[in-house]
Amino acid sequence: MMKIIDGGVTAPKGFMAAGTQAAIKYENRPDMAMVYSQKPCIVAGTFTSNVVKAAPVLWDMKIVKENGTARAAVVNTGIANAGTGKEGMDICRTEAEEAAKVLGVLREEVLVGSTGVIGEQLDALKLKAGIKALASKLSDSRQAANEASVAIMTTDTVNKEAAVTFEIGGRTVTVGGMSKGSGMIHPNMCTMLGYITTDIDIDRALLQKALSEDVKDTFNMITVDGDTSTNDTLLLFANGLAGNEKITSENEDYKKFCEALHYVNETLAKKMAGDGEGATKLVEVCVRGATSKESAKILARSVAGSNLTKAAMYGNDSNFGRILCALGYSGVSFDPDRVDISYEAEGKTINIFSGGIKSDYDEEEATKLLDHKEVRIIADMHEGSAEATAWGCDLTYDYVKINADYRS
Amino acid sequence: MMKIIDGGVTAPKGFMAAGTQAAIKYENRPDMAMVYSQKPCIVAGTFTSNVVKAAPVLWDMKIVKENGTARAAVVNTGIANAGTGKEGMDICRTEAEEAAKVLGVLREEVLVGSTGVIGEQLDALKLKAGIKALASKLSDSRQAANEASVAIMTTDTVNKEAAVTFEIGGRTVTVGGMSKGSGMIHPNMCTMLGYITTDIDIDRALLQKALSEDVKDTFNMITVDGDTSTNDTLLLFANGLAGNEKITSENEDYKKFCEALHYVNETLAKKMAGDGEGATKLVEVCVRGATSKESAKILARSVAGSNLTKAAMYGNDSNFGRILCALGYSGVSFDPDRVDISYEAEGKTINIFSGGIKSDYDEEEATKLLDHKEVRIIADMHEGSAEATAWGCDLTYDYVKINADYRS
């Protein structure tokens, strides 16, 4: 059975991490992190679908696709290294070279990640100093993982970690992870940097498959503001130190691993949605009874992404018309007269729309129910048996505030 | 030559209008309007693409598609008559019957429109009283048009009218219009109610074609919040009283009419974008040098609809990375290194991104330039010769405020 544990990227055997202050853009706050594996890893990754890809995304994509092996990841916040032309790519190379030198690995085994303002150039000297400091602080402790997860935060208000263990043939396998992301979050990968580590021994193609499949139901189902970043990166490192019989087919062990990975991904994804810029609550949208999984996803994301629904959630306003409206413009066809819409929070459910008209419910009760940190909107289409869940947050004054003067 | 005149729906010959207070949902504010033609009209229309269509939309669609003739339109604000099931359709019929009775026309010649809260039922008695009051106030005066345009406002801060005249064979033809729309505004028609009148004599199929074509470049190119309403309706009435030789082909006269219609549509559309809920400025996004008109449109709308770009516009923050990012996730493929991005306001232009990197511009100057009521973002893709313009607005605290407690 899968066991949820307190931990992050250092939970699996052989992984070390660190966070440090490198004054990349701001003074006096952690802004660089490192993840390092004592043994060579295979690595899987998924990246932004944005046509404009940040330099570190291009760097990582090449390594994941061409080599598929890695030893370390270096991350900075403050500056995204996107819209930075050739100089931006040179910085990635310099960064990887420096990390390779101090860690005694190959340049092509170092992945780099950046998040922050687009269009500004990174300072190579600051990066180098940061990398040296990180290498000297590397540790496999719980605290080191925590410090790394704090160092990759930008407008995040909480750091995001998760870890689980499970057994394969008597051997304990661990999956741990950290991520950041608050603004620029939208279904097709977000900024959104995520680093998952595991000590499982698995075939590289299967590792990538497990990640690519699971992302569709987790990270790609969250939305904060509809803006898909240039920097979204999710990396999954596996170093094989658990000593399990190597997974080379989609057997029972593979399924166990997928389940563990799903838990870590979903946990991190929900933490990001609930920590959306300025958000006061996590809004989970469950669509049921759809004709296909794909339709269910589109419908769920449309509601989770609707500015009007999100503003209503902020005001605890049971404005189901906006939910109905968002289902309607999603692009999926359905019969409005068959849709059931309900709210759910802390185990209590209120049906608000049924049979094409407003249900007979108490407005005050609905307002009270919406006034929770986690609220679920359930739309049952009554047309099939497919379902999907999307996660978002409310739209608040603070979202505007954060983004009207983010750079200053 | 086309001449811009001060006027609204009563500018063309034979059209009358009125606005009144009917206490549909709120007391002491105009909330019902009527447009009436002294002569039978042909009518064209475009409607919301939302799967969930309000009852009045279904009513109007039937008339426009099956009959294509009309005498009057009755509009109410406060309640949208959407998500109201069979009872909602009954209300439309009652409304049209009442108007038909007091105006001495057929029930099938009366179009109805509603905007406001979704899911609540309209009160037939209030509607009937409103219709009687409107019929008794009908006038072809400038003031009557103005009062009608004020009566259809919801969260709009200004009423929206436009009118032009042009000549066909010595006869003066007039096109006038009014619209409302502030929230729930997004490319595929919005709430967004629009009523255009003209005294031109034209074939019905050509009237519909002129409207359907022009909407693609005007009303469907504005975005406030990405939420496409259940009630969007744009109607174009033509009563033929100008006495021009009837237009039956796409000749020069047809082109003149299209030009006049385009002016009225674009003017109303821009007024709606600039009056977006809580907006402090109109943001015009011009995409040039695209490989196709369709690509140019998608790119322009993606930027105009980006929450992050909109929040930056509110803060007068020259955060071009967000513009680049929005171009990038639009779904259109392009080479980021070839894109030129500039700001323009009051005839002054500042280039901010070129050759894949940030241009050498003065931040303070850019901030000053963005601090105008009308700002233009220009993206030249340098890949072809197609261009398109989209209109949006900034995202402000007030947008959230308006929508967090719209119903209360």
A255-303 pLDDT, tens digit per residue, is: 999 999 999 999 998 888 887 777 889 999 999 999 999 999 999 999 9
**What would the pLDDT profile of A28-64 be if each residue is shown by its tens digit?**
999 999 999 999 999 999 888 788 889 999 999 999 9
B295 has pLDDT over 80: yes
CATH T-level fold of A282-404? Ubiquitin-like (UB roll) (3.10.20)
B263 has pLDDT over 80: yes
B225 has pLDDT over 60: no
Question: Which of A191, A198, A218, A309 is an active site residue?
Answer: A191
Residue A189, pLDDT score: 36
Residue A36, pLDDT score: 97
Nearest to B317 among A229, A396, A404 (CB): A404
- Range from A207-211, A253-257, A305-309, B60-64 carrying the lowest mean pLDDT: A305-309
Cβ A338 vs Cβ A381: under 8 Å: yes
A187 has pLDDT over 60: no
Separation between Cα atoms, residue A125 and residue A131, nearest integer Å: 10
Using pLDDT thresholds of 50, 70 and 90, give the confidence band for residue B135: very high
- Range from A80-84, B36-40, B91-95 carrying the lowest mean pLDDT: A80-84
So what's the ipTM on this one? Answer: 0.70
Angle at alpha carbon of residue A319, lines to A318 and A320, rounded to 5°: 95
B213 has pLDDT over 80: yes
Question: Which of B191, B197, B223, B228 is an active site residue?
Answer: B191
**What would the pLDDT profile of B378-400 be if each residue is shown by its tens digit?**
999 999 999 999 998 888 877 77
- The fraction of chain B above a pLDDT of 70, given in percent, is 95
Q: Which two tokens stand for residue A225?
A: 């503001």
CB atoms near residue B38 (< 10 Å): 14
- Range from A228-242, A299-313, B221-235 carrying the lowest mean pLDDT: B221-235
The pLDDT of B176-202, averaged and rounded, is: 75
On chain B, the residues whose CB falls within 8 A of the CB of A225 are: 307-308
Cβ B389 vs Cβ B300: under 8 Å: yes
CATH topology agreement for domains B3-274 and B282-404: no
Q: Which of B182, B232, B322 to mutate to test the interface with A (most CBs of A within 10 A)?
A: B322
Residue B190, pLDDT score: 41
Give the minimum alpha-carbon distance from A401 to chain B in angstroms, rounded to a whole number. Answer: 7
On chain B, the residues whose CB falls within 8 A of the CB of A327 are: 51-52
Residue B113, pLDDT score: 94
Nearest to B355 among A85, A328, A336 (CB): A85
**Residue appearing with tokens 């999907």:** A388
The pLDDT of A221-248, averaged and rounded, is: 84
Better-predicted residue by pLDDT, A232 or A335: A335
Residue B277, pLDDT score: 72
Q: Quick check: B403 and A315 CB within 8 A?
A: yes
- Range from B81-95, B171-185, B319-333 carrying the lowest mean pLDDT: B171-185
The pLDDT of B23-39, averaged and rounded, is: 95
Using pLDDT thresholds of 50, 70 and 90, give the confidence band for residue B224: low
- Nearest chain B residue to A184 by CA distance is B308
| Mean pLDDT over each residue of chain A, to the nearest integer | 90
CB atoms near residue A46 (< 10 Å): 24
- The fraction of chain A above a pLDDT of 70, given in percent, is 95
Q: Quick check: A319 and B404 CB within 8 A?
A: no
On chain B, the residues whose CB falls within 8 A of the CB of A320 are: 83, 118-119
Nearest to B308 among A183, A306, A320 (CB): A183
Q: What is the value of pTM for the model shown? A: 0.78
On chain A, the residues whose CB falls within 8 A of the CB of B356 are: 83-86
B228 is catalytic: no
Beta-bridge partners for B3: B165
Q: Quick check: B408 and A51 CB within 8 A?
A: no
Separation between Cα atoms, residue B152 and residue B150, nearest integer Å: 6
The pLDDT of B183-187, averaged and rounded, is: 43
Q: Kindly list the domain boundaries of chain A, sorted by start residue.
A: 3-274, 282-404
The pLDDT of A52-77, averaged and rounded, is: 94
Instruction: Write down how long chain A is.
Output: 408
Superfamily for the B3-274 domain: L-amino peptidase D-ALA esterase/amidase (3.60.70.12)
- Range from A269-278, A376-385, B317-326 carrying the lowest mean pLDDT: A269-278
Q: Which of B299, B400, B405, B408 to mutate to test the interface with A (most CBs of A within 10 A)?
A: B400
Instruction: Write down how long chain B is.
Output: 408
Q: How far is CA B43 from CA A36, A44, B68, B93, B204, in A?
A: 69, 59, 5, 19, 7
Residue B52, pLDDT score: 85
**What would the pLDDT profile of A81-136 be if each residue is shown by its tens digit?**
998 999 999 999 999 999 999 999 999 999 999 998 888 999 999 999 999 999 99
Using pLDDT thresholds of 50, 70 and 90, give the confidence band for residue A312: confident
Residue A184, pLDDT score: 42
Separation between Cα atoms, residue A271 and residue B260, nearest integer Å: 53
B272 has pLDDT over 90: no
Question: What is the dihedral sign for C-alpha B401, A154, A158, A215?
Answer: positive
Cβ B392 vs Cβ B275: under 8 Å: no
Nearest to A229 among B225, B325, B327 (CB): B325
Q: Quick check: A227 and B406 CB within 8 A?
A: no
B242 has pLDDT over 90: yes
- Range from A321-330, B135-144, B235-244, B271-280 carrying the lowest mean pLDDT: B271-280
Q: Which of A350, A343, A345 is nearest to A372 (CA)?
A: A345
A199 has pLDDT over 50: yes
